[in-house]
Amino acid sequence: MRAINVLVVGTEGFCRRAGSVLNRIGIPFTALDALVEETNFNVVAESLRSIREYDWGIFTSVNAVRSISLVADRVGLRRPLDGLRRVGAVGPASAEALRAIWDGEVFVPKRYTVSALAEELPDVEGTSVIAFRSALASDELVSALLRRGARSVVQVRAYSVRVREDVELPRDHSVVLLGSPSAARAYRTLCELQGCEPRPAICIGPVTSAAAREHGLEVMAVAEEHSLDGLVRELRRVMRVA
């Protein structure tokens, strides 16, 4: 197995979670906290006040769950989702984060993508859905659920992320791990600002890899399972064949 200098790019939370996994299996890395999360407090607070109007609550990232937790803590809501009948998450990390604010079962699709969540969400017909997402999220989820017969779908722009242009990009990395489209944008932005040649990327899934290519990055590999564990498994596969 050839040594590869790994750079992890993302929010502080993603870098921390990825670092924990990489440390556990003994892969050296450098983490670059290149994105700042900003919760849209008023938007989230208003949606929580009307949460009982919805049957399904959908979360497409850990960041979306965190935004609910932050707002709930600030306004004194211990169980902010209790008005919902059912809850769905895009993957296991989001489902795990939900356990702090939701006692019931969390539906997770077989494939950890937004499109799979929209396709596999059970008992959608005739229901009202509220989806907590990034400010940059597309309307793909809304359109898919409406096609499947949902009575209404409200998409809450729960948080946004911005690039931290003040962080220094390490020059000695040979591959970059990207866990979101925003991370791809941040990495490319920092490379341009600091005159660094972008390195090949290993991406968590097809949406992130598409964003990486749109930003002119070379995509070395895409995780078969679209989760942090899947991303690390793909890194290990690349290291074995390098």
Domain residue extents for the chain: 6-36+162-241, 38-161
Q: What is the pLDDT of residue 136?
A: 87
Whether the CB-CB separation of 130 and 58 falls below 8 Å is answered with: yes
pLDDT tens-digit series, residues 79-109 = 999 999 999 999 999 999 999 999 999 999 9
With bands split at pLDDT 50, 70 and 90, how would you rate the model's confidence at 2?
low
The Cα 172–Cα 199 span in angstroms is: 10
Percent of residues, the chain, with pLDDT higher than 70? 98
Ramachandran bin of 4, using left for φ above 0, alpha for ψ from -120 to 50, beta for the remaining angles: beta
Beta bridge partners of 6: 29, 175
Instruction: Compute the mean pLDDT over every residue in the chain, rounded to the nearest whole number.
Output: 94
pTM of the model: 0.85
Domain 6-36+162-241 and domain 38-161, same fold? Reply is yes
Is residue 29 scored above 60 in pLDDT?
Answer: yes
Q: For tokens 């992320």, what's the residue? A: 161
Pick the CATH number of 6-36+162-241 from 3.30.200.20, 3.40.50.10090, 1.10.10.10, 3.40.50.1000: 3.40.50.10090
Q: 47-68, pLDDT tens digit by residue?
A: 999 999 999 999 999 999 999 9
Q: How confident is the model at residue 240 (pLDDT cuts 50, 70, 90)?
A: confident
**Confidence check: pLDDT of 1 > 50:** no
CATH architecture of 38-161: 3-Layer(aba) Sandwich (3.40)
Tens digit of pLDDT for each residue in 155-213?
Answer: 999 999 999 999 999 999 999 999 999 999 999 999 999 999 999 999 999 999 999 99
DSSP-derived secondary structure letter, 208: H
- Are the beta carbons of 145 and 153 closer than 8 angstroms? yes
Q: What is the largest CA-CA distance in the chain?
A: 55
